[in-house]
Amino acid sequence: MNHTGIFPYYYPTTALFLDDNLRFLEHFSFSFPTGLSFRLFDSPLGALRHLDEVQESTPLCERCFFGNQETIGHSDLEQVMRLDLSVLYTQLFNPDRFSEVSVVVVDYDMPEMNGLDFCRSIVNPAIKKILFTGKADERIAVQAFNEGIIDRFVLKSDSNPAATVIRNIKELESLYFRDVSKLISKTLSIDSPYFLDDPLFAAFIVRLCAQERFIEYYLTTNPQGLLLADDHGRTAHLTIQTADDLDTHYEIAQVAGAPEELLDGLRGHLLIPDFWRAESYAEDGYRHWKQYVLPAQAVRGSHGLYYYALQHNPPSFEISPDSVIGYQAFLQSAFQG
């Protein structure tokens, strides 16, 4: 997560460390924060095999798109790609999502394969690369960075190498999600929810996640907002509306003859409708409207006010607690294994 914008999805990933001196890596890992998922390797070939094993056959960013044959302007059938954002939050049920490697930290001088050749051998171009090496290899590291082979380099002689490496991992993990979700973001740019590229609202999301201890999120459209989860896999939904959205709800409700109390709440931007759960928008939703509204709170963004409501255990998604493996359970399983 970052303060400049919101990705279509985000969850913690794994950092892979490679050095032919495994004892050094094990000692170095004692300085890692407890919430970091990492794997240590002393063999470049073994590390490459692991990257292949954890790479999904069809990444999430590609599963959101599907094609169908349509007639467009002419009699010829053309392939049209459609974006289904409802696929995003299904990643929440993938127990292996945290195993995904977003960053590799690799030594340069290794007998089996040097660090730069290892970086060149990584198939997934989105994976970020840090060269973690000695002072003698600094010139090589600078050249590799300038050529785009690596994304960062850290010297082992750094005053606090562990802190520097961890800071770079967190920064590069954000860039990883920026890159893997780029196609989704470009597709959404045609009709993107305002809040996705709003830095003020992104800063609010960072604060909210810290306050509520959310560590992963997924963009949703019905209802519009973010499905979030904490490190135990407990979910909540943040419904996000603009003034125009609420005004539209008011106009629809007014035409449908909704109760005056509901109309007052929508007109005053005091209520956020949750009618997606109602069997019949007008008949069921308006008749029993108190079951289908949430109190609205306001936060200022770069584009004006946003209205939001945070709902824990959101009924719209019918998520069973047993169906989600949280990050804490993953870490315990990974380190026990």
| pLDDT tens by residue, 305-318 | 999 999 999 988 88
Placement of tokens 């209205």 in the chain: 307
Torsion of CA 198, 201, 202, 208, to 10 degrees: -170
Rounded mean pLDDT, 247-255 = 91
Q: What is the DSSP letter of 281?
A: I
Q: In this predicted model, which residue has the larger pLDDT, 110 or 4? A: 110
Q: What is the pLDDT of residue 256?
A: 83
Burial of 233: CB neighbours in 10 Å, binned 0-12, 13-18, 19+: buried
Is the pLDDT at 80 greater than 70? The verdict is no
Q: What is the pLDDT of residue 285?
A: 56
Count of CB atoms situated within 10 Å of the CB of 67: 10
Are 64 and 88 contacting, i.e. CB atoms less than 8 angstroms apart? yes
Rounded mean pLDDT, 320-335 = 91
> pLDDT-derived band of residue 282, with 50, 70 and 90 as boundaries?
low
Q: Are strands 152-155 and 101-106 parallel, antiparallel or unpaired?
A: unpaired
Q: In this predicted model, which residue has the larger pLDDT, 151 or 333? A: 151
Residues of CATH 3.40.50.2300 domain(s) within the chain? Answer: 9-62+90-186
CA distances from 244 to 163, 195, 225, 234, 308 (A): 45, 14, 15, 31, 13
Closest CA to 180 of 101, 92, 96, 105: 101
Is the pLDDT at 240 greater than 90? The verdict is yes
Placement of tokens 């169906």 in the chain: 323
Closest CA to 214 of 200, 223, 225: 225
Are 224 and 307 contacting, i.e. CB atoms less than 8 angstroms apart? no
Is the pLDDT at 243 greater than 80? The verdict is yes
What whole-number percentage of the chain has pLDDT above 90? 70
Q: What is the pLDDT of residues 203-224, one digit of tens each?
A: 999 999 999 999 999 999 888 9
Mean pLDDT over each residue of the chain, to the nearest integer: 89
Phi, psi of 104 (to 5 degrees): -115, 140
Rounded mean pLDDT, 313-326 = 90
Closest CA to 230 of 11, 32, 61: 11
Q: What is the DSSP letter of 201?
A: H
Q: In this predicted model, which residue has the larger pLDDT, 285 or 148? A: 148
In angstroms, rounded to a whole number, what is the distance separating the alpha carbons of residues 84 and 281? 23
Are 250 and 237 contacting, i.e. CB atoms less than 8 angstroms apart? no
Q: What is the pLDDT of residue 19?
A: 97
Task: Tokens for 85, please give them.
Answer: 């954002």
Q: What is the pLDDT of residue 58?
A: 81
Is the pLDDT at 78 greater than 80? The verdict is no
Length in residues, the chain: 337
Greatest Cα pair distance, the chain, in angstroms, is: 77
**Backbone conformation region of residue 73, classed left if phi is above 0, alpha if psi is from -120 to 50, else beta:** left
Closest CA to 290 of 312, 306, 271, 268: 271
Are 196 and 219 contacting, i.e. CB atoms less than 8 angstroms apart? yes
CA distances from 207 to 170, 204, 211, 304 (A): 17, 5, 6, 19
Q: What is the DSSP letter of 283?
A: I
Is the pLDDT at 60 greater than 60? The verdict is yes
Q: In this predicted model, which residue has the larger pLDDT, 227 or 334? A: 227
Q: What is the pLDDT of residues 7-16, one digit of tens each?
A: 999 999 999 9
* Sign (positive or negative) of CA dihedral 171, 55, 161, 28: positive
Cis peptide before 273 (omega within 30 of 0): no
Q: What is the pLDDT of residue 257?
A: 86
- Give the CATH number of domain 9-62+90-186: 3.40.50.2300
Rounded mean pLDDT, 256-260 = 88
